Amino acid sequence: MISLRNVQTTDLEQLLLIENEGFSIEEAATKEAFVERIQLIADTFIVAEKEGEILGYINGPIINQPYITDNLFKEIKENPKRGGYQSILGLAVSKQARNQGIAKILIEKMEELVEENEREGITLTCKQELVSFYERFGFVNHGMSESKHGGVNWYNMVKLRKGMK
């Protein structure tokens, strides 16, 4: 049985292993970035685990615009209680747990948080090969992002909350 919960400080080492499996050195979040996210945005940092082992996670702060900018990878603030856009800075699943629907479960949990907290929607950036993956979950490709994070071309993907235009 897979369970979802908010991140805890004791998760750090397992999270770093999964992050570095899923992203290149240039793209991966640093240990310092994870520590900051755990401290400041645990309410939107969700971990999927089974029998005490972390299988994957999703995280990101609430931002006041529909697109992610590179400064978010360096500096974040605590989340407001209501409104804004739920950004996703990281979604990763451990190698041995891939293709089991864990990313889907994590995205669905973020969608629930968006509804509960009356957010505008969810925004993320992804590489071209993942555009169709996110489109399956109802995200809309808004074209090339201004982000140059990790020296890669990223696409803006946005999914508005039900009833939002």
What would the mean pLDDT of 8-17 be, rounded to a whole number?
Answer: 96
What is the predicted pLDDT for the residue at 164?
66
Other C-beta atoms lying within 10 Å of the C-beta of residue 5: 14
pLDDT at 90 exceeding the cut of 80 = yes
The shares of helix, strand and coil residues in the chain, as percent rounded to the nearest 5, are: 35, 25, 35
Q: What is the CA radius of gyration of the chain?
A: 15
The pTM for the full model equals 0.93
Go through the chain and tell me how many residues it has. Answer: 165
